[in-house]
Structures are given as C-alpha cells and as structure tokens.
Amino acid sequence: MTSSYISNPLIFLIDTLIYLYMVVVALRLIMQWAHWEYHNPMVQFIIKLTQVPVKFLRRFIPAAGRWDTATLVLLIVVALIKIIAVGMLAGVLPKGLFWLTILFAELFQLFINIFTVSIIIEVILSWVTPAGSYNPVAPLVGKMNAPLLRPVRRTIPPVAGVDLSPLFVLLGLQVLSMLVMPLLAGRYI
C-alpha cells in the first residue's frame, strides 16, 4: 500500500468538511445581503454553527457599515485553513502570491457553487411544494436568488408559462466561472 491509500481519503474528508463549513459561513454573509428572516429555522441553524467564532472575531474586527466584517474574516480564515490542510496532506503548498490567487479562486468558486445550488433548489421546490404549504428554505432561496433572476425575468418572459430565467442564470454562472477561474488559477490563454 502506498501513502496515498490513506492520504487520499483523508484529503477528501478534510476538504469536504471544511468546505461545508465554508458554505455555512458564506450563507451567513449572504443572509445579511438577502435580508433573510431571523426567526427562520435555517437561519437559526446557520447562526448557531457560526456564532462562537464570529462573536470572538467581533471583539477585534468592527462592522463596516451594515456588513459583518468578522464573518468575512472568518470565511477567509477557514478558506486559508482548508488550503493549508489540504496542501500539507498533498505535499504541495503554494508559494509567494499564489496563496492569494488560490484564496480568491476558492472563494469565487464557493459563491458560484452556492448560487448554482440555490437556484436548482428553488426550481425543484417550485415543482414539488404544494400551494399553501410552508417550506423554511423556499423564502430564503427566493430572496437570495431574486437579484440574479429578476433582471433576466424582465428580459426573457415566460414561454408557455415556463420561467426560463433560472436556466439562463445557471448558464451565465457557469460561463462566468469558466472565464474567471482560469485567470485566478493562472491558466489563462
């Protein structure tokens, strides 16, 4: 057995667990931007998972206007921990300013993934949620995706009662990722 026999599953596990926590921290940033209802059970879940480190960081890092800079710093720190942990296990640590580009790439892809998944969730919920029922996730993804979907909905009307705006926004997010990620990773043509 080679050393990768143990290190590959360990890298996968650490990468996945830290990435999931990054998603929760990023959602805490998004909840301020999207004005999520504080009493929603999903919002309470996000706050409970992030409250201890955010509260600690708030002692040293003041808010910038209505933005919680402590949460942003926490997201950056968790992303750096992920890069370092995975890099050490893989035996490849970035050098020089490459740290910064990897950090930007990691955060950019995180938000692209969050919005992609949230749009897919919103579409699926619109198909399966019975009229008049309450789902705690539906109003959150609706408020979160509205700034992305609204301009497309104004431009492209529904076709035979089918809203195609989520499809166009998903395509746009993927094209944006394909254009920006190579630049951040240093693989531009």
Domain chopping of the chain, boundaries: 1-93, 97-189
Spell out the long-range contacts of 182-186 with Cβ–Cβ below 8 A and sequence spacing 24 or more: 184/101, 184/104, 184/105, 184/108, 185/101, 185/102, 185/105, 186/98, 186/101
Q: Is the pLDDT of residue 174 over 80?
A: yes
pLDDT tens, position by position, 78-95: 999 999 998 888 888 877
The reported pTM is 0.89
Q: What is the CA radius of gyration of the chain?
A: 19
Average pLDDT, the chain: 89
CA-to-CA dists, residue 67 to 33, 76, 121, angstroms: 8, 15, 26
pLDDT tens, position by position, 122-131: 999 988 877 7
Instruction: List the single range of 6-15, 28-37, 126-135 with lowest mean pLDDT.
Output: 126-135
Q: Is the pLDDT of residue 33 over 70?
A: yes
> d(Cα 6, Cα 89) in Å, to the nearest integer?
10
Instruction: List the single range of 17-31, 127-141, 142-156 with lowest mean pLDDT.
Output: 127-141
pLDDT at 187: 54
Nearest to 167 by CA among 130, 122, 129: 122
